[in-house]
Amino acid sequence: MTEELLKRVRDFTAAELIGKDGHFDSLPEQPTVETARLHAAGLANWWVPESYGGAGLSLQDSVDVVSELSYGDAGFAFGAFLPILGSLMLQHFADEELARPALETLATDGDQIAVLGSEEEAGSELVRTATTFHPEGDRLVLTGEKYFSTNTDTAHLLLVLARSSDDDFAVIAVPRDTPGVEIVKRWDLLGVRSTGAYRVRLNGCTVPATNRLHGNGLRTLEASLNASRILIAACAVGISRRIRDLSMEYAASKTLRGAPLTKNAVFAGKLGQMEMLIDVMRHQCRAAAAEFDGLLAATDSSGTGLYRIGTLRSALAAKLYCGQAGWDVASTGSELFGGLGYTQDHPIGKLVRDMRYVAIVEGGQDIMRDLLYARYVLPARKRR
Ligand SMILES: Cc1cc2nc3c(=O)[nH]c(=O)nc-3n(C[C@H](O)[C@H](O)[C@H](O)COP(=O)(O)OP(=O)(O)OC[C@H]3O[C@@H](n4cnc5c(N)ncnc54)[C@H](O)[C@@H]3O)c2cc1C
């Protein structure tokens, strides 16, 4: 099942993503035609469990799916896998009446779920979230502004982090067509430009109180972020593999001192180094994903297991390491093409810009280091 699906992803990448760098880099309209084709190929939202009509791929196998898709275009890959964050939150922390239709629609319609956490003053410090909710009878009313959120315009369901007047943090499901949901702007991103990332206002959006997910919203989000952080890290594997292959293509036709660049020992050393980084990145992502899969399998249906996972060391390490190693590969790659590497005529410029997102989105490098220190280095009694 997994091998067969991976082959289909590889074929999809070759047919639909490779060779379209200009299109993907142009901030294409959302959803892209390729998004619809991913669904038509039966590949959208591949992780949705079989009990909800999906293919039920593990997170470990999703690492390789994301590596394949981001070999073609990392922005496309990001938009395609990010619904995993909302889907985990619904599966483990929402009432079945809320979760089932949403998860089934992901499988049957190739739909998306967006997560609206960060704000202008609360990105890494979500505890400063200013978006509020308050009860009105059997309904909840949300007001606030979210700075960045991916897929929001096209998703059918938005999971919004908000706080009450007595500092109760909650994740609340808001259907996209709820009156008061307003897209303020689409960001003109530096890289991963085929993704739709938006600034969103919530003007007194009213939803049933049962749309609140169980538990503390900050912890719900934290546990689920392990999965999407690992997959963001996996994008660095795919982008790096593409840089390696483009480097080999270039070096085969470039001559230096009368011989192809491929025969040059300095070039060989660079490519050998790249291959080592690619291999270690992939293994760290797969090891972190396997740990998450194992913990998830041990989770009881109430979701308390996932709640207890917190922030996994292996997921933080994967995101931090791939942010660094991927940047090393991108930097080596951009030098390798000489002056051509500093033009828009060669895809390397786009790949460098795409790679940058790995070290920024869902927590920058300082945040990864700080979390590793606060959760795993400090003595247990002093941990935050
Ligand atoms: C393309 C894109 C898509 C996104 N999609 C979503 C989405 O779908 N949903 C969502 O909720 N958010 C989304 N985001 C937001 C993203 O996750 C945040 O921008 C990211 O986590 C960084 O947070 P920040 O912007 O608040 O910057 P900050 O984390 O505040 O960083 C600003 C500065 O503070 C420093 N800093 C922060 N924390 C520490 C620390 N602990 N120690 C030392 N220095 C520190 C940083 O190093 C940096 O210099 C998206 C962003 C982008 C660019």
Domains of the chain: 2-109 (1.10.540.10), 113-211 (2.40.110.10), 217-382 (1.20.140.10)
Cα–Cα distance list, 43 to 28, 65, 187 (Å): 21, 10, 27
Please say whether the beta carbons of 369 and 320 come within 8 A: yes
Count of CB atoms situated within 10 Å of the CB of 297: 9
Q: What is the separation of C-alpha 342 from the centre of its chain, rounded to a whole number of angstroms?
A: 28
Binding site membership of 370 for ligand 1 (Cβ less than 6 Å): yes
**Which run of H or E residues covers position 336?**
helix 313-336
CA gap 262, 255 in Å, rounded: 9
CA gap 287, 39 in Å, rounded: 28
- pLDDT per position in the chain (384 positions), as tens? 588 999 999 999 999 999 999 999 999 999 999 999 999 999 999 999 999 999 999 999 999 999 999 999 999 999 999 999 999 999 999 999 999 999 999 999 999 999 999 999 998 889 999 999 999 999 999 999 999 999 999 999 999 999 999 999 999 999 999 999 999 999 999 999 999 999 999 999 999 999 999 999 999 999 999 999 999 999 999 999 999 999 999 999 999 999 999 999 999 999 999 999 999 999 999 999 999 999 988 876 555 667 778 899 999 999 999 999 999 999 999 999 999 999 999 999 999 999 999 999 999 999 999 999 999 999 887 777
Residue 34's identity, in one-letter code, is: E
Residue in 228, 221, 187 with CA at minimum distance from that of residue 306: 221
φ/ψ region of 63 (left if φ > 0, alpha if ψ in -120 to 50, else beta) reads alpha
The residues pairing with 13 across neighbouring beta strands, listed in sequence order, are: none
Biggest CA–CA distance in the chain, Å, is 80
Q: Could you give the angle at the alpha carbon of 100 between the alpha carbons of 86 and 295, nearest 5°? A: 55
Residue 28: cis peptide before it, omega within 30 degrees of 0: no
Binding site membership of 85 for ligand 1 (Cβ less than 6 Å): no
Whole-number Å distance, alpha carbon 156 to ligand 1 midpoint, is 25
* Residue nearest (by alpha carbon) to ligand 1 atom 14: 148
φ/ψ region of 214 (left if φ > 0, alpha if ψ in -120 to 50, else beta) reads beta
Please say whether the beta carbons of 162 and 146 come within 8 A: no
Q: Which two tokens stand for residue 42?
A: 């039966």
Please say whether the beta carbons of 48 and 56 come within 8 A: yes
Atom of ligand 1 nearest to the CA of 152: 8
Q: What is the pLDDT of residue 202?
A: 98
Q: What is the pLDDT of residue 301?
A: 56
Whole-number Å distance, alpha carbon 135 to ligand 1 midpoint, is 30
Binding site membership of 110 for ligand 1 (Cβ less than 6 Å): no
Whole-number Å distance, alpha carbon 123 to ligand 1 midpoint, is 5
φ, ψ at 75 (rounded to 5°): -65, -40
Residue in 188, 185, 195 with CA at minimum distance from that of residue 147: 185
